[in-house]
Structure 1
Amino acid sequence: MDAPPFKKRPRLESEPENAETDSGDTEEQTMSDGEEDLVALIEHRSKEVEHLRKRFSYYKSQLEEAEKRLDESQRKLARLRGQNSVKTSLTQSEFRSQFNLNTSITVQSQPQSKLQPEILDIKQEDCEPVTKSSSSPSSAGDSGFCFSNSMIKLKGDKTQREPCEKEVVDAQDKGAKRISDQKRQKDLIPMISCHSSPCMIDCQTCAIVTSQHKRKLRSLVLSPTNEQHFATSALDGVVNLWQLQGRGSSATLLSSTNCLSAKQRRWPEDIAWHPEGNSLFSVYSADGEESQISILNLNKQKVSFLEEKPHVKGIINNIMFMPWEDNCFVTGGSDHAVIFWSEKERENSWKPKVLHKSVHSSAVMGVAGMQQKKIVMSAGADKRIIGFDLVEEKVEYKHQIESKCMSVLPNPRDLNLFMVQTGTLEKQLRLFDIRDRQKEVHSLGWKQESSESQSALIHQAWSPNGLYISSGSVDPVIHIFDIRYNSHKPSQSIKAHQKRVFKAVWHPTLPLLISISSDLNIGLHETA
């Protein structure tokens, strides 16, 4: 007898369908998650590629410019060698054979291997064939410049060796040249306001260092001879000497010196570094028979005061060493006077000379020297900008604007371009061509949230290539302007501190901005 047929349960028939559905949902969910991950990864890597592409384009353009400048330097070297051969009455073959036999070139490189391309280009073009500074290992080493130094040693020719030794002695006696003196001239004025978009700088704060000052900071200056050193001063009367660590990742306090004036115990209103790098000069007030200028010897950590007191009253607002061969500086004061100080033979001895005291009708707020000609620029609260020719002893440039002037700052690359800080909001910075007295080249500025007035304690600085201006602000930001950008606004603003920023200066050889703020901190900001 046949067995009855086996009946399948309906529930068992539906179970495989549910299992397939669950498996499909899980697989679909897994694919969805993987797709989101891949999209996020692609977006991240796309940004990374775009960033690297921009940097590659930047470095490529800098390399092309560096190669052009290197080629120019090589041509100058060839011309110089040709001139030397004529002077010594040697034929071309004799000169070449003598040079090959008697000359050995030793290249000494600094241990630092990586440099910012823009700065490296500047240094490469400034390397003269046989210069006083580059022929002296001590002067170049003390200055901290990050380019190779060439020493030419003549083994058999005393007539050629003696001048080289004399040049070395002269370079050592005068110290390393100012960084601004070594920058090659470049015509930047035609480039002003010609681009529709700015060239952005990748700026990131890498360290915030406590200033060690007890009161608000007043001044920040970089050493002209040692790229690792900078100094700060504050209302506590103390001048601090700092040393950068590495490429600006941090800073170490080297020394603190009390520089209060002897009688009234006033703090330095402004400080300036001697071009030889061994001393710091501070200015005070002309009231109450007070000493007006002090000199801090950095080697001995000793402060001395000059006896001369040419200013007659009020605060001395600014001190600035001139970018010329002879060591000299200029001060501007609230007594409307501009004083020129020349160095005497005796140590810490300076002779003052009044350039003018009636050209300005109000306080002189800022002074500076033009590089291509011995002209002393001054900016006053009387809205006047004055250029005084030292050789002709007369006013060479005169211009008046609609608001008070608070500082003047020549461009380090274009010898005809200079900037003036004014009191007009959203037009605080004015660019001028010293050859054109009738108008300004361009104006730059920013809106302020913390105050409706422009403070004279806010300062600006040019970048080493002369294309950017950094400015402090009553707000806790650093404003950066690209002068090629056809706008009056900052190309970018960097949140750098908790309170107002007094100043942000560009390091001459490192991709670094150094800033000081009323929050009593020093900011170190990496730029690229």
Structure 2
Amino acid sequence: MDALIQAYDDRDEEEEEHESYHQQPQKRPKFVSASPLSLPPPLPLRPHSQPPLPPTSAGVPGRYVSKRERAAIAATALAPNPTSPVRPPLELASVLNAKLPHRIQRKLDHSLGNAGGCNRCPRELVTKLEGHSKAVIAVRWSPTHGALLASAGMDHKAYVWNVWESPAHQMGRCLSCHTHALKDIQWSLDGNSVLSCGFDQTARLSDVETGAQTQVFSESQVVNVVRFHPLEGNLFITGGSKGSVKLWDVRLGKFACEYSKALGDVMDVDFSPDGSRFVTTSDIAKRNSSDKSLLVWNFATQIPLSNQVYLEAYTCPSARFHPFEQCFIAQSNADYIAVFSGRAPFKVNKHKRFQGHQVAGYRIQCSFSSDGECVVTGSADGHVYFYNYRSTQLIKKIAAHQGVCSDAVYHPSLPSVVATCGWDGIVSVFE
């Protein structure tokens, strides 16, 4: 037996294949049965020996399988089976169907039934949302889901937060479709998508539920601001670094028209509640051009309705229309918020302004509460300031961030709930 094994191991592989096809298989010698104690010990396996393989399709009992055939059979066994089912990828937890805590849901139901109630200033910090690695420029509440908050950061990312979840589940979606820092973010009217823009010269529409990018709107300028039309959910406006203001149609995937009037760097855009007008703020550095720093446009005719609205030699990084009155406010780099009439000739109210906070050249944004009775703004000193809209008196200020507080927005349905963001990379929620 040892001699037979040695003979097979020493022969060349080509000789093995040749002889296996031209010689009849030898009969195995018959051993006389003996008691278990008299059986010889099993032969040790050689280092190069392999475990037995299943017979081939042409398997003849007792046929010797060469090394080449064994390698081919092993490769076939390791190859993936195309007919085998592919395991589907892990599904992300739903964001839009997330349930609100009972306490928040009760407050939301109460506020919907008392929409005319006066908003109150928040009293304490509820939660800090940490995920951005650089400054956060803008925060926006979802118009349809009371717990969702979107933020845009200088770290090229936008996040959708489920505010009242546990800290481990607050980050609902991370939208990383941009290649450069972001400048602004907005929710679609149905609350299913977010529109973001930034230094990569694009505005990008992303699906909140899947986190996937759905459309890209490219420009030849840095896109500073995006705003959806308040009534037409398929239309939005962008403003950029070269002074171009464009109207885009989501259905067409391209811009429908361009509002041009030798503008400077467009810093902000906001629609009137009925969508018939919008205001643009620009950073005008040219001499004798301050009359173009704040303009009101007719949305349908693409014609500016105003000139010389704001004559001071300061830029306005932010502007917001009142929720239902014919007026709008504009943040000034002179460290105050001015009030303007919403009707032609759109004059500034010289007897009404909100001052006490600091702008210091930063893009500090301001906004109204949902009932229009409070004005909230960020500040360069890291605080968030609350003013009474009627009396212009400072109601309260709260320390919110280490460094610049760049944006502050009231919740659209929950009174006294405010979200802020800052250059420390943190999004804070106060209640």
In 2: Cα distance, 1:354 partner to 1:325 partner:
15
Q: Counterpart of 2:421?
A: 516
Residue number in structure 1 paired with 2:71: none
- Counterpart of 2:321? 410
Whether contact under 8 Å (2:306, 2:344) holds in the other structure is no
In the other structure, the counterpart of 1:225 is 144
**Alpha-carbon separation, structure 1, partners of 2:168 and 2:273:** 33
Determine what percentage of the aligned residue pairs are the same residue: 20
Shift of 1:326: 4.6
Unaligned runs of 5+ in 2: 1-100, 285-289
Residue of structure 2 in register with 1:253 after alignment? 171
Deviation of the 1:519 alpha carbon: 2.5
Equivalent runs, 1:352-431 vs 2, <5 Å? 352-360=255-263, 362-382=264-284, 383=290, 384-398=293-307, 399-402=309-312, 403-414=314-325, 416-425=326-335, 427=336, 429-431=337-339
Which residue in 2 is equivalent to 1:211?
A: 130
User: Does residue 1:113 correspond to 2:106, yes or no?
Assistant: yes
Write the distance in 2 (CA, Å) between the matches of 1:250 and 1:123.
36
Match of 2:247 in 1: 340
Going from structure 1 to structure 2, the CA distance change for 1:476 and 1:393 (only over 3 Å counts) comes to closer
State the alpha-carbon separation in 2 of the partners of residues 341 and 370 from structure 1.
Answer: 18
Within the candidate set 202, 216, 219, 1:292 is matched to 202
* Residues 401-455 of structure 1 deviation map (CA, whole Å, 9 limit, x = unaligned): 21112122111121x1111111112x2x11111214263122212254xx8x231
Structure with the greater alpha carbon radius of gyration: 2
Match of 1:241 in 2: 160
Report the CA distance shift for 1:500/1:120 in structure 2 as closer, same or farther (over 3 A): farther
Shift of 1:392: 2.8
Tell me the amino acid that sits aligned with residue 302 of structure 1: A
CA contact (8 A) 2:409 2:418 kept: yes
Over aligned residues, Cα RMSD in angstroms? 2.8
Partner of 1:162: none
* Structure 2 partner of 1:67: none
* 8 Å Cα contact 2:183/2:197 also seen in 1: yes
Residue 192 of structure 2 is matched in structure 1 by 278
Residues 486 and 369 (structure 1), Cα distance of their counterparts in 2 relative to 1, 3 Å cut: closer
**Unpaired segments ≥5 residues, structure 1:** 1-109, 125-198
TM-score for both structures, normalised by structure 1: 0.55
- Matches of 1:474 and 1:116 in 2, distance apart? 36
With over 3 angstroms needed to count, the CA separation of the structure-2 counterparts of 1:390 and 1:521, relative to structure 1, is closer
Matched, 1:505 2:416: no
Quote how far apart the aligned CAs of 1:300 are.
2.2
Q: Which residue of 2 aligns with 1:491?
A: 395
Contact 1:337 1:364 in 2 (8 A): yes
Deviation of 1:229 after TM superposition, in Å, equals 0.6
Shift, 1:514, TM fit: 1.3
Q: Secondary structure at the match of 1:404?
A: coil
1:50-89 aligned within 5 A:
none
Q: 1:241 to 1:318 in 2, by over 3 A?
A: same
Q: 1:353 to 1:454 in 2, by over 3 A?
A: same
Compared CA separation, residues 204 and 324, structure 1 to 2 (3 A): same
Contact 1:211 1:521 in 2 (8 A): yes
Partners of 2:169 and 2:123 lie apart in 1 by: 16
Instruction: Name which of 327, 337, 351 aligns with 2:254.
Output: 351
Partner of 1:329: 236
Q: Kindly indicate whether the alpha-carbon contact (under 8 Å) linking 2:173 and 2:208 is maintained by their aligned counterparts in 1.
A: no
SS at match of 1:113: helix
- After TM superposition, the structure 1 stretch with the greater mean CA deviation from structure 2, 490-499 or 503-512, is 490-499
Give, in whole Å, the separation in 2 of the partners of 1:116 and 1:433.
34
Deviation string, structure 1 residues 130-175 (Cα, Å, up to 9, x no partner): xxxxxxxxxxxxxxxxxxxxxxxxxxxxxxxxxxxxxxxxxxxxxx
Q: Secondary structure of the residue that 1:330 maps to in structure 2?
A: strand
The answer (yes or no) to whether the contact 2:129–2:170 under 8 Å persists in 1 is no
2:29 counterpart of 1:122: no
CA contact (8 A) 1:279 1:295 kept: yes
Q: Give, in whole Å, the separation in 2 of the partners of 1:294 and 1:397.
A: 31
| Distance in structure 2 (CA, Å) of the matches to 1:460 and 1:438 | 19
Counterpart of 2:372, as a letter, is G
Rate the CA distance shift 1:343–1:401 in 2: closer, same or farther, 3 A.
same
Farther-moved stretch of structure 1 (394-403 vs 468-477): 394-403
- 2:183 match: 269
> In structure 1, how many angstroms separate the alpha carbons of the residues matched to 2:108 and 2:183?
35
Give the structure with the larger helix fraction: 1
CA distance in 1, matches of 2:392, 2:194: 39
Matched residue, 1:15: none
Aligned length: 317
Distance 1:120 1:431, change over 3 A: farther
Amino acid across the alignment from 1:282: S
Take 1:249 and 1:491, find their aligned partners in 2: how far apart are those partners? 31
- Counterpart amino acid of residue 177 in structure 2: C
Distance 1:435 1:332 in 2: 23
Residue 284 of structure 1: how far off its partner (Å)? 2.5
Distance 1:252 1:233, change over 3 A: same
Q: Residue 469 of structure 1: CA displacement?
A: 0.9
* Letter of the 2:253 counterpart: W
- When residues 503 and 326 of structure 1 are mapped into structure 2, their CA distance, relative to the original with a 3 A threshold, is closer
Q: State how far apart, in whole Å, the 2-side matches of 1:486 and 1:209 are.
A: 29
Residue 476 of structure 1: aligned partner? 382
Task: Give TM-score, length-normalised by structure 2.
Answer: 0.67
Letter of the structure 1 residue corresponding to residue 234 of structure 2 = N
- Change beyond 3 A, Cα 1:253–1:364: same
Corresponding residue SS for 1:213: coil
CA distance in 1, matches of 2:257, 2:119: 44
